[in-house]
Chains A and B, each alone.
Chain A
Amino acid sequence: MTKTAYPLSPDRLETKFSDKYPPYDLGEALAESNRCLYCFDAPCVHACPTSIDIPTFIKKIASGNVRGSAKTILSANLLGESCARVCPVEVLCEGDCVYTTWGRTPISIGRLQRYATENGARYVELERKHATGKSIGLVGAGPASLACAGRLALLGHEAVIYEKGTLPGGLNTTGVAPYKMPADEVLHEVEFIGSLGVKIETGVEVGKDISADELLEKHDAVFLGPGLGEDSQMDALARDTAGVLGAVEWIRRMKTDPKMSLDSVRHAAVIGGGNTALDAARELAQLGVEHVRLVYRRSEAEMRGYGHEWTQAKKEGVVLVPNAIVKEVVSQNGTVNSLALVRARNGKPTDHELDEIRTDLVIVAIGQARLLELVNMFPGVECDGRGHIVADEETGVTGNPLIFAAGDACNGGKEVVNAVAEGQRAATAIDAMLMGSDSGGKNA
């Protein structure tokens, strides 16, 4: 376990997982990097939301210049280390690799990026501008805020992140599938962002420990990167029943809470069909739960989760219950016992009752609540009809010119790499706003 200043118990369920792809050794990294064709105007770069110069960092691995390789990555993407491991490369860089077009195995860009950052990042010194005297307060310590704050610090500004929880890193720490990246390694990356001069204050909740007005008074600009809220409620489900958990909560506890145990769980049901549902189901199956069912209100073909993730889930034994909606959580002595289901047509319930399924654990993965309450504290900032913060796509600026926002709270829940790209773009725009340049927003 990687040691960091943040407290994590060694008894977490997460520690039972091993890496989906073990790290490359030198020989493997050389062999793979030498396979790269070094395309001109490479399609992989276009596919990366942070536009990492992929052929360049790969050629630097091949020439034994791992430090330079890591610098190429981190210059474009401050969270290059976690993106290397959590990015859905199958649909991003590797999906557009010309080898894929050619019907051959694409370059393992994610694994090479992990090799470069893990072995080279500690030697990288990114250029830091002189102190400007300007200060930015950032709400939430997830990928969007970390990337934004890191870039702001490099531009010479003071960047202070306020995180209501005890652990920084956002969903990278509490939500990423542990076979992709465990929490301790995420926290190590957070410390790298700290090393750029970013201050992270955990246990500080906006509206409780510090007000929005105080934030605006203390800082020259504010960045909102709160992510999405807690798990959405599901009317039919008794959330008070023991054994019923929201997916975000379940993953967080599996990764960080040593009291979380699956000892009495043989049957589990995950409700939903998106990537969070697939992550939760795969994690349960890999942790040894015998029967893991995915209850989804539409058909297999309509699942929103990535195809490659669902293929893996099936291999791990996850069974789909399609076109089904939970009518009732049946409990015994306050503990969940089974799920009563009705057939769904086009995602809507019908009267047709299906067989009850036995279950010891129900994970609800049907989305996260929005953050209206937080948003309403900041003058000029608004949410749209779906509960997303309204912010300019290029600059992240909200209805208040001093307040910027990015990440899941704005885009409704995309990948870490999208949050990083948006956060970095916002940093460039904030810098332009504070320093009086009008060139902000582009090429962040």
Chain B
Amino acid sequence: MPDLSVDFAGIKSPNPFWLASAPPTNSGEQVMRAFDAGWGGAVWKTLGDPIVNISSRLGSIDYTGQRMMGLTNIELITDRPLDVNLREITEVKKRYPGHALIVSLMVESRDDWVTLIKRSEDTGADGLELNFGCPHGMCERGMGSAVGQEPKVLEELVHWVMDAASIPVIAKLTPNITDVTEPAEAACRANVTALSLINTLQSIIGVDLDRLVPLPRVGDVSSHGGFCGPAVKPIALRMLAQLSRDPQVTVPVSGIGGIADWRDAAEFLALGATTVQVCTAVMHYGYRIVGELIDGLDAYLAEKRMDKVSDLVGAAVPAFKEWGELDLNYHVVAQIDADKCIGCQLCHVACHDGAHQCIHLPGTKAIPGNIAPMAEIAAQKAAESDGDSPYRVPWVDETECVGCNLCELVCPVENCITMVERRRAPEVDTWNDRVASGRDYVPGGLRELEKG
């Protein structure tokens, strides 16, 4: 049975599943219930100077009936008294010594940072997480993402923290930035122990079309919020992978962003996260989802003959390349399994209107000379079928197919459309190869062409 325990920058955790700093980690009572449910660690809801929260605070985007594809919030850091939080953190750590307990912090002045770090360390917590990500409310006061967006400020601030701290320090980064490697490298230069990302994305989740007020509504107005949940996962994965392959980023990373099941978690681990943090899925379904995360990851590691989580960490990073490194001779074409096809013809309309016009309706003729092995069979079956149950399986013109995947993506039937490899040539040929050997042009190449 695989070992799920992890060592994250010296912080021991029974599994890689942590709760992110958010409403699910607001109080000791909650965090203890989460640990009882199976969570390996928790990052406490951010401590800082007293704030006042507003109402309402959350808004969500639904998609074709599925609730909370994405969630936005305009809640600030903890609104509980600092003494109460610190007392509860101390108590939780005492009762759960084997779990990872991290305290998230966000203050403004150096003195405040030093004071809060000392008081947090006195709780016995395993580490600190610096909230450089909150993109709403707190950033208007010069904190949160206001720091995360200014690498120089961030570097300075991490220096202050590292001078004061004696336990591991994680800098949590904002995705609301052009190049996330800049703040990550800045934090590493200041000797941060670890990184975590992503915090939420600046967003307006929607507009109340009756009142004409953005959502979530506070009286007759609103403000932008921080977006999270399943919809942000692809953005988080890419930023994580960027850090994982950056040689200047030498510290472990905790991955955050839309993780809802073990597959999501495994993908983050494969792209270099040592632990993952979850929030929206718990806000939706409760702490109990961790059982599925543990069970699913355990089974996956066993199936792949991996003994421990670290075997998976970063396993997909070498395969994350720049576009110029991709093989232009690799080529796939769509194939439709006529036995599985249910005749919805979504592949046809998607290809015809949204791609490259190579999936055709049965009964139409192929362009002479093009590779379209199913065209004639489809025509024959269409001719044989009667009006009551016409033959509706489309066919692929393999010569015209660019291998974009769109048909496979829209097909509702599992494994009905598969992309089959049809290499253009045996040798690998990338754009970078072509430019290096003078067969293609570098940026500005069009002007070169015009000059002849």
Contacts and interface: CB of A to CB of B under 8 A. Distances in A.
Interface stretch (B125-133, B223-231, B342-350): B342-350
B16 to A, nearest CB: 34
B324 interface: no
A38 interface: yes
A366 interface: no
A98 B343 CA distance: 7
Interface in A80-95: none
B12 interface: no
Given A30-B65, A37-B412, A43 B392 contact: yes
A43 B64 contact: no
B413 interface: yes
A292 B233 CA distance: 62
Given A38-B346, A39-B346, A40-B345, A102 B65 contact: no
B346 A102 contact: no
Contacts of B343: 39, 43, 98, 101
A65 to B, nearest CB: 12
A39 B65 contact: no
Interface string A97-129: 011011000000000000000000000000000
B414 to A, nearest CB: 11
Nearest to B64: A34
Given A31-B65, A62-B64, A102 B348 contact: no
Contacts of B346: 37-40
A40 B349 contact: yes
A192 to B, nearest CB: 28
Contacts of A34: 64-65
Interface string B391-416: 01000000000000000000011000
Contacts of A39: 343-346
A101 B392 CA distance: 11
Contacts of B389: 96
Contacts of B65: 30-31, 34, 62
Contacts, number: 35
A41 interface: yes
Chain B contact residues: helix, strand, loop or mixed:
loop
A101 B348 CA distance: 18
Interface in A5-41: 30-31, 34, 37-41
B288 to A, nearest CB: 24
Nearest to B392: A43
Most B CB within 10 A of own CB, among A40, A62, A98, A99? A40
A363 B234 CA distance: 67
A99 B343 CA distance: 10
Contacts of B349: 40
Interface residues of A, number: 17
A37 B413 CA distance: 11
Contacts of B348: 40
A99 B412 CA distance: 10
A37 B349 CA distance: 12
Given A31-B65, A37-B412, A101 B345 contact: no
B413 A102 contact: yes
A40 B344 contact: yes
B345 A41 contact: yes
Contacts of B412: 37
B47 to A, nearest CB: 40
Nearest to A27: B65
A99 B413 CA distance: 10
A54 to B, nearest CB: 13
A102 B342 CA distance: 6
Interface in A240-292: none
Interface in A142-178: none
Interface in B395-452: 412-413
Interface in B330-355: 342-346, 348-349
Interface string B51-90: 0000000000000110000000000000000000000000
Interface in B360-403: 361, 389-390, 392
A98 B64 contact: no
Contacts of B413: 102
Contacts of B345: 39-41
Most A CB within 10 A of own CB, among B65, B344, B412, B413? B344
Nearest to A35: B65
Nearest to B348: A40
A46 B392 CA distance: 13
Contacts of B361: 41
A123 B345 CA distance: 33
Contacts of B342: 98-99, 101-102
A414 to B, nearest CB: 16
A31 B67 CA distance: 11
B408 to A, nearest CB: 15
Nearest to A34: B65
A31 B392 CA distance: 27
A68 to B, nearest CB: 15
A41 B343 CA distance: 10
A46 B361 CA distance: 16
Contact of B344 (A30, A37, A62): A37
Given A42-B344, A98-B343, A102-B342, 4 more contacts: A30-B65, A39-B346, A43-B390, A101-B343
29 contacts: A30-B65, A31-B65, A34-B64, A34-B65, A37-B344, A37-B346, A37-B412, A38-B346, A39-B343, A39-B344, A39-B346, A40-B344, A40-B345, A40-B346, A40-B348, A40-B349, A41-B361, A42-B344, A43-B392, A46-B390, A62-B64, A62-B65, A96-B389, A98-B342, A98-B344, A99-B342, A101-B342, A102-B342, A102-B413
Interface of A: 30-31, 34, 37-43, 46, 62, 96, 98-99, 101-102
Q: Shortest 9 CB-CB distances between A and B: which pairs?
A: A34-B65, A40-B345, A40-B349, A39-B344, A34-B64, A98-B342, A102-B342, A98-B344, A101-B342
